[in-house]
Amino acid sequence: QVQLVESGGGLVQAGGSLRLSCAASRVTFSNYAMAWFRQAPGKEREFVAVRSKSGGSTSYADSVKGRFTISKDSAKNTMYLQMNSLKPEDTAVYYCAAKYTYYDVAPRDAMDYWGKGTLVTVSS
């Protein structure tokens, strides 16, 4: 059973930084694209960032490009989302997701597995 567990959320002031973590069990990073999504109150879940299984390709939502960075530590089987210059509109529950990919692609949807999320609140 694949398990993804997010951590690192919390309350931060606008302009601050947070680093989210996603600990993966029974997921071999070399076989899976890994991604972050978020869902703000009253809104649909949206794509944030994705990393292909090799790490050779990454993609970001326009709203976070230049501020957020996705990375992973294969030795720890953990993925990260470094979030800088946070804005109140970044307030959301952030979800980690994984998708098995045969090719080295960075998909933005149709994930196979999801974590339960971690809440990020950015105060103005």
pLDDT value at position 30? 87
Query: Is the separation of the CB atoms in 45 and 32 below 8 Å?
Result: no
Percent of the chain's residues with pLDDT above 70? 100
Nearest to 117 by CA among 64, 66, 67, 48: 48
Cα–Cα dist 45/64, whole Å: 15
Going by pLDDT thresholds of 50, 70 and 90, the confidence category of residue 20 is very high
Residue 26's pLDDT is what? 87
pLDDT tens figures, 22-80: 999 988 888 999 999 999 999 999 999 999 999 999 999 999 999 999 999 989 999 99
Specify the pLDDT at position 24: 95
Residue 84, classed as helix, strand or coil, is coil
Q: In the predicted model, what is the mean pLDDT of the chain?
A: 96
